[in-house]
A = this chain, B = another copy of it.
Amino acid sequence: MRNIRIDIEYDGTNYFGFQRQKKGTTVQSALEETFTELCQEPITIFGAGRTDSGVHALGQVCHFKTSSGLAIERLFKGSNKLLPKDIAILSLREMPERFHARHSAKKRAYAYFVLNRPSPSALFRNFLTWAPYALDDQGMTEACEFLQGHHDFSSFAGAKSSQPRTSITVNKVKCFRGTGSLNVPFSTLGEDCITFYIEAQSFLYNMVRILMGTLLEIGQKKRPSSDMKKLLGHPDRKKAGPTAPSKGLFLVSVEYPQEFQ
């Protein structure tokens, strides 16, 4: 069996998230339908990260096994032709049999974008959360510093979270005005954009959106930045902020051990 890695970009606006559901179209079901047609055998897609309804991906990674002998180039062109236009295959390549998009992943990076100006954005309306009020990015930056390292994030886990372990090591985290050197769109929104970027091996359900909801309350000075530290020490979902809207969230990239890069 061949083991094929797919790197994809998608606009999650019109999907019920990444993962296959009983009802409604998901990114996974669209991919499975396309590759099943191309390979002429039932294909199961495994994705590195499960994104919610309305969440986007700049660099989701998936894999599937197939006995089809179709050349990579044909699979690449064929899938980009058959898939709906809001899902794009960026690259396709053959991998060693032991590569698994989800299990082999070392790190996942997410970014959340907030448009902080009086006027909304027409072009990027589905990719940003609009905050037309003053935001103290200094306070938000400070709050983020508490998140670095190993902590219990159960304050920031959505009710549907099924992960048994709630302690997570955050490898990198930052919140800043502008889009920085991140390889992300909207960079010309410049100082009107506030970016929250976070890297870890895994995340709890809704974790990034609840962290963002809490950061937005800190930005609005509804609570001090030190609250972030307290929420990690005394975990209680009710004490954290609301879940920020899904549309501002992007799965930016997935990192694998050297041998799979």
Cβ contacts under 8 Å, A118 to chain B: 76
Q: Which single residue of chain B is at the shortest CB-CB distance from A81?
A: B120
In the assembled complex, A199 has its CB within 8 A of some CB on chain B: no
Interface segment among A180-188, A219-227, A237-245: the answer is A180-188
Q: Which single residue of chain B is at the shortest CB-CB distance from A87?
A: B122
Q: Are B80 and A120 in contact (CB under 8 A)?
A: yes
In the assembled complex, A161 has its CB within 8 A of some CB on chain B: no
The 9 lowest CB-CB distance pairs between A and B, nearest first, are: A88-B122, A9-B122, A88-B120, A90-B119, A85-B125, A10-B122, A187-B187, A11-B122, A86-B122
In the complex, what distance in Å separates the CA atom of A187 from the CA atom of B127?
16
Interface residues of A (CB under 8 A from B): 8-11, 56, 58, 76, 80, 85-91, 118-125, 127, 183-188
Q: Are B119 and A89 in contact (CB under 8 A)?
A: yes
In the complex, what distance in Å separates the CA atom of A41 from the CA atom of B246?
38
* A-B contacts, 29 listed (Cβ < 8 Å): A8-B122, A9-B119, A9-B121, A9-B122, A9-B123, A10-B122, A11-B122, A11-B125, A76-B118, A80-B119, A85-B120, A85-B122, A85-B125, A86-B122, A86-B125, A87-B122, A88-B120, A88-B121, A88-B122, A88-B125, A89-B119, A91-B119, A123-B127, A124-B185, A183-B188, A184-B188, A185-B186, A185-B188, A187-B188
